[in-house]
Structure 1
């Protein structure tokens, strides 16, 4: 986005993940990757890299990068620092690590939250930061999608979920909810979940637990777990609904993208749910209550094809108003001045 408005963009990373590397390469955006297994030495190397740069603005995303960027400011600097918060997990405000990292946010010039809910949580726990807190939604930049949507393909309601396999994404409650459905109704449902299987290197615990429960309940033809895919927008476009069942979220990109693709939504009451979803474009449910999730799925399954299309059009209209690229770009451009 910044590049399209005439700004030079560079990335500094400290991990091996390269999911977006091909996209950055295609845009000729350089990526400097600093690999160091030592925590202290990694902090020092990243601090040095940032301080040796000739940038006007540094923008960091997520808790640890925000901390590293704040560390880099100590000793004076001529560049502006914007830290960006993506999570609304209340535990990050209560545990020791979170409190330490958040203390260093005093060195940032602005703290950008990607949901109003997230900003409210920050204001509640850190009122001293109130004047530099603001909310900017993520723009939804979708590639061209070739999929031809076929409502209720094979006579089933198709729900796509795009989320990594970690416990807070709440696969367990979704599985329990589907298992509560009437036996005959189950045969008219298909849920496809796409996401990163290893939350951290070698850690497949949540994925394996979900897979075991799906097999134990004999739901393997109803709930199908897939690895992450770069074609997720294609998968969403082919679905009847896009779902989210998380316990906590910042702004859920999958829901924003699903809305922009004109899909009705089923989601738990997380993040800015009251802005994203109402009775005209989807159904809300509670993360901790499989019975309520089951009822939301049942309500979706009762819809006619015409009603699915109606909800999808309302989702797209909401998305056009909330995630307009030009409006969001103007907010960021004003911030980096």
Structure 2
């Protein structure tokens, strides 16, 4: 029976954390001995089954007051001690600092490390210390999982050659929702209220849509990231006197029912990894207008004019035009939405797990 250690900062509810939690459960169900090593406990975390061992390898309360370098060394030392104790067949790390930490902690142990990049490398892996650590550490990883070609192509060729591109797995609750008989006059979006998702641009674009189609409303579902975006959105809605047709709906656990009969799903991000919200909208068969944002997440799953529409980032006129095109051409909208549902064939949890399992097994064999 193989042993796997997954390493990530915490299990706080987010895209990478959801993927790692799902994978851990699937590997455990297949008979693997699974551990999740985290640096801290967050307030709102994904739950894990008792078949998975969760271990804290981060700082204690006294160590939190130490300097940056001292804390870095403690974290690496603690993870290394855990790796040497468990002697797993492989360590799988997710996200920026956890990737570096896992490679460093496993040096000299003979245990392979697979790292996984979950965001746009530009702006996240291009600081001065990244320019030192990437060429020094990433080639020492046994493998790397990317979500898009854009992510992969950012890294050294040596890393690219031993990498795989694997999509995020869809939550099963989005897979069996029937197509609605009729669509309501709503344009929807789901995702945290956060600056890079550029819901401000979406509201400005929808203001133009509303001038042509005053019977349509915009509903934005998502929790407050507390970066000030929610307040800016509320201010813009008030300035445009749009309270009667633009609504901030808050977070929801039943999006599969609330989104499915909308007329358009509008995705407005300036950058993303591979956004779960977009995959979920596709699985529901929604007609989609999406920004063609780096590092290529939307372009990885959407073929413009075939299963959705792609528009340039930060272009409210193009976004408004795309939304109006789908509103005014319901046959086109339904054709794109029906084709979008095909994402379920390649991004269901079983298909994604099998790709991860195949890659991990290939790394272990070598």
TM-score (norm 2): 0.77
Shift of 1:147: 8.5
For residue 66 of structure 1, the aligned residue among 99, 123, 127 is 99
Whole-angstrom CA distance in 2 between matches of 1:47 and 1:226? 44
Q: Which residue of 2 aligns with 1:194?
A: 222
- RMSD between aligned residues: 2.7
The 2-side partners of 1:249 and 1:138 are apart by 13
Cα 1:236–1:105 shift into 2, 3 Å: farther
CA distance in 1: counterparts of 2:244 and 2:183, whole angstroms: 16
Structure 1 residue aligned with 2:279, among 247, 256, 260? 256
Identify the residue that residue 264 of structure 2 maps to in structure 1.
241
1:318-333 to structure 2, matched below 5 A, reads 319-333=343-357
Supply the distance in 2 between the matched residues of 1:5 and 1:14 (Cα, whole angstroms).
Answer: 26
Of the structure 1 ranges 112-121 and 203-212, higher mean CA displacement relative to structure 2 is found in 203-212
Looking at structure 2, the residues matched to 285 and 247 of structure 1 have their Cα atoms a distance apart, in angstroms, of: 11
Alpha-carbon contact 2:183-2:261 (below 8 Å) kept = no
What are the superposed Cα offsets for residues 222-279 of structure 1, whole Å, 9 maximum, x if unpaired? 3322433333333333433333211111112111122122222221112143442231
Moved beyond 6 Å, runs of 4+: 144-148
Give 1:177-216 correspondences, 5 Å limit: 177-183=205-211, 185-195=213-223, 197-198=224-225, 203-216=226-239
Alignment of 1:116-195 (within 5 A): 116-122=149-155, 126-143=156-173, 149=180, 151-153=182-184, 156-159=185-188, 161-183=189-211, 185-195=213-223
How far apart, in 2, do the equivalents of 1:230 and 1:17 lie?
19
Residue 163 and residue 82 in structure 1: after superposition, are their counterparts in 2 closer, same or farther (change >3 A)? same
- CA 1:46 to 1:136, structure 2 compared with 1: closer, same or farther past 3 Å? same
- Within 2, Cα distance between the matches of 1:72 and 1:193? 40
Count of equivalent residues: 321
CA distance in 2, matches of 1:13, 1:314: 39
Shift in CA distance, 222/5, structure 1 to aligned 2, threshold 3 Å: farther
Contact 1:193 1:223 in 2 (8 A): no
> Can you list the C-alpha shifts for 1:25-47, whole angstroms capped at 9, x where unaligned?
4x643333445535433652454
* TM-score, scaled relative to structure 1: 0.83
> d(CA) in 1 for partners of 2:178 and 2:55?
35
Residue 322 (structure 1) shift: 3.1
Question: Shift of residue 135 of structure 1?
Answer: 1.0
Change (3 A) 1:5 1:274: same
Corresponding residue SS for 2:134: helix
Give structure 2 stretches of 5+ with no counterpart: 1-25, 362-366
Give 2:116's aligned residue: 84
CA–CA distance in 1 between the matches of 2:291 and 2:351? 27
Deviation by residue 1:298-333 (Cα, 9 ceiling, x = unmatched) = 1122133x554433221112x034325444333322
Q: 1:253 to 1:216 in 2, by over 3 A?
A: same
1:109 matched to 2:133: no
Q: Is the contact between residue 222 and residue 252 of structure 2 (CA under 8 Å) also seen in structure 1?
A: yes
Distance 1:298 1:43 in 2: 54
1:30-67 Cα offsets, whole Å, 9 max, x none, are 33344553543365245424532412211111112112
CA 1:89–1:45 in 2, change beyond 3 Å: closer, same or farther? closer
